[in-house]
Amino acid sequence: MRILVIGGGGREHAIVWALKKSEKVSELYCAPGNAGIAQLAECVPIQVGQFEELIQFSVDHAIDLVVVGPDDPLADGIVDAFEAKQIPIFGPRKNAAEIEGSKIFMKDLLKKYAIPTAKYETFTDYEAAKSYLSAQQTPIVIKADGLAAGKGVTVAYSMEEAQQALADMMVNKVFGQSGDQVVIEEFLEGQEMSILAFVDGETVRPMVPAQDHKPVFDGDKGPNTGGMGTYTPLPHIPQAIIDDAIENIIKPTAKAMVSEGRPFRGVLFAGLMITKDGAKTIEFNARMGDPETQVVLPRLKTDLVDIILAALNGRLDQLDIEWSDEAATCVILASEGYPASYPKGRAISGLEEAAALEGVLIFHAGTAASDGQIVTNGGRVLGVVGVGKDTEASRERAYEAAKKIHFDGVHYRSDIALKALQGLAQS
């Protein structure tokens, strides 16, 4: 098969890496890709939003399957555009991708079908939102309705911070049109959990659960990012809680989307909070998570191509999906200044030395090739993954590798996966 992956981040590098292992793949392309992906696939200089150019490339190169990584093209209808040309593509159509593209749509869907989530109100008028907010208790959560590269959410611990976040979204337009509407919702306390699932209509095949670390600094301090690290499995979270989330949140949501005439086919990502009242939904994404994908796919034993083809052909319910018992930990190496403005073009050293370590995978997120060397080209630069027999071993490998990599201003959290080890120590 000739496969085209769309995207150029760490998630796409992990997808390309997993697809490359399949004996069914003869040619692998990625648009636009990055310096790491270029070592596994032929990178194509077409951006994710250039649908006509991507379709033409697929026709010219007899592409058998297209796999979409990021959220923006899904929300903009890339799947519909490819399907109109009879090119097989894995991902939800535009009307199903709205579960991520509009937080208000998602919240209203969950409310309608009584699927557990935080209490909330939605607003299109700034003064009305401001008035409502002033009567609430902190901490409180303010969300821009549309896509904002994973940064359109503020957990405000003071009323001043909450009002500033609201003004930034609705008045100062820091997220553009995504802030035309906002969701103000109750703060949920507990541990976060991410469950990705392969979905074809009402058939849900959950992947192994992971836990993300959103804030930029140790101890969950500082502004939210797209994710500073992940790990799987979650040994400190009882299986009963994970099963409950699958049965009472993910499966009913897939069923609800079918009932709404928006059947979901692709990867549905549930961002959950484990509260004292059980798991509740924070968000849904319409694609693989980043950086969750970087730890989940290394544990996948079944051929990813087989899973995608089964979903596309309505046979997902007939496929057994196998996972390894190993643990994986991903530490994100970020640019100085991220998630605010950051420099680009800084030379990266130590990549080969780190990659040579046993049980280590290096996924490139924001890199480019320049004058024969690899340089930084994004806020999140690399995902350094350690795979081992348990969380402690995988964590040690990830940090051992991270210490070998350097670029000016490199920043990473030192506490990824510690919650699991501390939780195990307490239990």
CATH of the domain at 171: 3.30.1490.20
Q: Which of 180, 214, 244 is the last residue of a domain?
A: 180
Give the span between the Cα atoms of 56 and 426, in whole angstroms. 57
User: In the structure, what pLDDT confidence band is assigned to residue 149 with cuts at 50, 70 and 90?
Assistant: low
Q: 278-285 and 221-224 as β-strands: parallel, antiparallel, unpaired?
A: unpaired
Give the span between the Cα atoms of 167 and 142, in whole angstroms. 10
Q: What percent of the chain has pLDDT over 70?
A: 99
Give buried/exposed letters for 322-359 (b at 16+ CB in 10 A, else e).
eeeebbbbbbbbbbeebbeebeeebebeebeebeebeb
Q: What percent of the chain has pLDDT over 90?
A: 89
- Please report whether residue 104 resides in a domain: no
Q: Are residues 176 and 306 in the same domain?
A: no
Which tokens go with 188? 């949920």
Query: What pLDDT shows up at residue 176?
Result: 87
Q: Are residues 197 and 284 in the same domain?
A: yes
Question: What is the number of residues in the chain?
Answer: 427
Lowest mean per-residue pLDDT among 269-278, 299-308, 347-356: 269-278
Q: In what order do the strands lie in the sheet with 153-156?
A: 120-123, 182-186, 140-144, 153-156
User: In the structure, what pLDDT confidence band is assigned to residue 200 with cuts at 50, 70 and 90?
Assistant: very high
Query: What pLDDT shows up at residue 314?
Result: 94
Q: Are residues 171 and 71 in the same domain?
A: no
pLDDT tens per residue across span 372-386 = 999 999 999 999 999
CATH number at residue 42: 3.40.50.20
Query: What pLDDT shows up at residue 384?
Result: 98
Backbone phi and psi for residue 406, each to the nearest 5 degrees, phi listed first:
-140, 140
Q: Are residues 80 and 170 in the same domain?
A: no
User: In the structure, what pLDDT confidence band is assigned to residue 224 with cuts at 50, 70 and 90?
Assistant: confident
Give buried/exposed letters for 214-230 (b at 16+ CB in 10 A, else e).
bbbeeebeeebbbbbbb
Q: Are residues 175 and 200 in the same domain?
A: no
Query: What pLDDT shows up at residue 178?
Result: 81
- Give the count of alpha carbons within 13 A of 253, CB side only: 38
pLDDT tens per residue across span 111-146 = 999 999 999 999 999 999 999 999 999 999 999 887
- Please report whether residue 101 resides in a domain: no
Q: Are residues 385 and 337 in the same domain?
A: yes
- Please report whether residue 115 resides in a domain: no
Give the span between the Cα atoms of 350 and 404, in whole angstroms. 5
- Please report whether residue 102 resides in a domain: no
234 by Cβ neighbours in 10 Å (0-12 / 13-18 / 19+) ranks as buried
- Please report whether residue 66 resides in a domain: yes
Q: Are residues 42 and 169 in the same domain?
A: no
Query: What pLDDT shows up at residue 148?
Result: 73
CB 394 within 8 A of CB 329: yes
Q: Are residues 52 and 78 in the same domain?
A: yes
CB 396 within 8 A of CB 328: no
How many domains does the structure of the chain reveal? 3
Q: Are residues 169 and 197 in the same domain?
A: no
Query: What pLDDT shows up at residue 335?
Result: 98
- Please report whether residue 120 resides in a domain: no
CATH number at residue 316: 3.30.470.20
Q: Are residues 344 and 248 in the same domain?
A: yes
Residue 247 makes CB contacts below 8 A (sequence gap 6+) with none
Q: Which of 138, 161, 180 is the last residue of a domain?
A: 180
User: In the structure, what pLDDT confidence band is assigned to residue 304 with cuts at 50, 70 and 90?
Assistant: very high
* Total H helices, total E strands in the chain: 15, 22
- Which range marks the domain in which residue 236 is found? 191-426
Query: What pLDDT shows up at residue 13?
Result: 98
Q: Are residues 202 and 164 in the same domain?
A: no
Query: What pLDDT shows up at residue 422?
Result: 87
Q: Are residues 205 and 151 in the same domain?
A: no
pLDDT tens per residue across span 232-262 = 999 999 999 999 999 999 999 999 999 999 9
CB count in 10 Å sphere of residue 250: 24
For the cut 70, the answer to whether the pLDDT of residue 409 exceeds it is yes
For the cut 70, the answer to whether the pLDDT of residue 201 exceeds it is yes
User: Long-range pairs for 316-322 at CB < 8 Å and ≥24 separation?
Assistant: 316/198, 316/199, 316/200, 316/203, 316/205, 317/200, 317/203, 319/205, 321/198, 321/205
Query: What pLDDT shows up at residue 381?
Result: 98
User: In the structure, what pLDDT confidence band is assigned to residue 20 with cuts at 50, 70 and 90?
Assistant: very high
Query: What pLDDT shows up at residue 363?
Result: 98
Mean of pLDDT over the chain = 95
User: What value does the mean pLDDT take over residues 28-47?
Assistant: 98
pLDDT tens per residue across span 284-302 = 999 999 999 999 999 999 9
- Please report whether residue 108 resides in a domain: no
User: What value does the mean pLDDT take over residues 139-163?
Assistant: 86
C-alpha torsion sign, points 75, 78, 81, 84: negative
CB count in 10 Å sphere of residue 370: 14
Beta bridge partners of 156: 140
Helix (H, G, I), strand (E, B) or coil at 241: helix
Give the span between the Cα atoms of 109 and 73, in whole angstroms. 22
Query: What pLDDT shows up at residue 426?
Result: 65
Give the span between the Cα atoms of 70 and 56, in whole angstroms. 20
For the cut 80, the answer to whether the pLDDT of residue 427 exceeds it is no
User: What value does the mean pLDDT take over residues 195-219?
Assistant: 96
Helix (H, G, I), strand (E, B) or coil at 350: coil
For the cut 90, the answer to whether the pLDDT of residue 152 exceeds it is no
- Please report whether residue 114 resides in a domain: no
pLDDT tens per residue across span 46-95 = 999 999 999 999 999 999 999 999 999 999 999 999 999 999 999 999 99
Q: Which of 93, 109, 136 is the last residue of a domain?
A: 93
